[in-house]
Amino acid sequence: MPLDPATAHAVHALFEALAIALGVRCYLGQRATGSVKAPFAVLAGCLLGAAIGNKAAFWLEMPELFSRSEGWMLLLTGQSIVGGLLGGLIGVEAAKLLSGHRASTGDRFVFPLLLAIGVGRIGCFLAGLNDATYGLPTTLPWGVDFGDGLPRHPTQLYEIVFCIALAAVLACWRAPLAATPGLRFKLMLSAYLLWRLGIDTIKPVHHPWPLGLSGIQWLCLAALSIYLPLTLRQLRRHARVPQESPMALL
C-alpha cells in the first residue's frame, strides 16, 4: 500500500536510523573480538567525510534542487550511498595522513557497511515513489506498483539481494583475504560501484548528464577509473602469494 509523503519519510528515517545503529553495532562487535583497532581520528574522518560526500553526490544527482530550495534547507534534502562511501573513504585517508596512522582500516568496515546498506534499502522500498530509488516500469512478474499504476523494477530489493550475496562471498574469502590488508574493502567498494553503475540504468534519470547517464553513474565511473586499477593491482599481488585455500583466488 503506497504511503503518504509524511509517513513515507518517517518510515525511511526510521530504517535509516536502524541501519546506522546495526552497522555501528556490527562494527563494535568486531572491535570487541580484537579484529578492529581503528583510532578515533580515523572513525571521525570516516563520519565527517561520509556526511559531506553523502550530500554532495545527491546534489550532483539532482542539481535542480538548488533552484527549488533555499539556504540551509539543502542540508536537509536527500543523500547518496555512493557519495557516503566515497566521502568516507576520502575522510579516512585524510585522517590517517594527519594522524600518522599507517595500518589499513578498510576491511573493518566491509560487513557493517553491507549490513547498513541492506537495512536502509528496506526503508527506501517502503517509501516507494516518495524515494528516488525505485526502478523503471517492467513487464517482469515481480514488478511492484508503488502507487502510480505501473509495475516497476523493485531496485531496492535487488540491492538487498546484492548486498547479501556480496557479504556471503567476502565471508567465504575472509581468511585468505586477511593475508592482504585492505583488499577486502577494495573488492567490496569496487563491486558496489560497478553494481550501481549497472543497476542505475533501470532507474529513472532525474537529471541527465553527458551520454544520458545520471550524476551517480558519472561519479561511479570517475571513482572506478581510479579505484578499480588499485584493486586489480592488489588482487594480482595477492594471487601470486601462496594461499592456504583455493578460495583465496578469484
Query: Span 43-59, mean pLDDT?
Result: 87
* CA angle, 103 then 111 then 130, to 5°: 125
In this prediction, residue 55 has a pLDDT band, given cuts at 50, 70 and 90, of: confident
2 vs 190, more confident = 190
Alpha helices in the chain (DSSP H): 5-32, 40-61, 65-68, 81-99, 110-127, 155-172, 174-177, 183-199, 215-240
Neighbours of 194 (CB within 10 A): 13
Distances (CA, A) of 124 to 3, 67, 89, 96, 214: 12, 25, 24, 33, 19
Distance (Å, rounded) from C-alpha 96 to C-alpha 90?
10
Span 149-181, pLDDT tens digits: 999 999 999 999 999 999 999 999 988 888 888
Distance (Å, rounded) from C-alpha 250 to C-alpha 239?
8
In this prediction, residue 38 has a pLDDT band, given cuts at 50, 70 and 90, of: low
Distance (Å, rounded) from C-alpha 20 to C-alpha 6?
21
- What pLDDT, on the 0 to 100 scale, is given for residue 119? 96
Span 81-135, pLDDT tens digits: 999 999 999 999 898 888 887 788 889 899 999 999 999 999 999 999 988 899 9
70 vs 235, more confident = 235
- What pLDDT, on the 0 to 100 scale, is given for residue 33? 54
Distance (Å, rounded) from C-alpha 137 to C-alpha 148?
10
Alpha carbon 69 to chain centroid, angstroms: 26
Across 59-68, 104-113, 208-217, least confident range? 59-68
If you average pLDDT over each of 62-66, 102-106, 227-231, which comes out highest?
Answer: 227-231
* All cell numbers assigned to 8: 513515507
- What pLDDT, on the 0 to 100 scale, is given for residue 30? 79
72 vs 148, more confident = 148
* DSSP secondary structure of 10-35: HHHHHHHHHHHHHHHHHHHHHHHTTS
Output the pTM of the full model.
Answer: 0.89
Is residue 147 within 8 A of residue 128, CB to CB? The reply is yes
Distance (Å, rounded) from C-alpha 199 to C-alpha 250?
23
- What pLDDT, on the 0 to 100 scale, is given for residue 245? 46
Is residue 225 within 8 A of residue 193, CB to CB? The reply is no
Q: Is the pLDDT of residue 246 over 60?
A: no
Average pLDDT, the chain: 86
The share of the chain scoring above pLDDT 90, in percent, equals 52
Span 130-142, pLDDT tens digits: 888 999 999 999 9
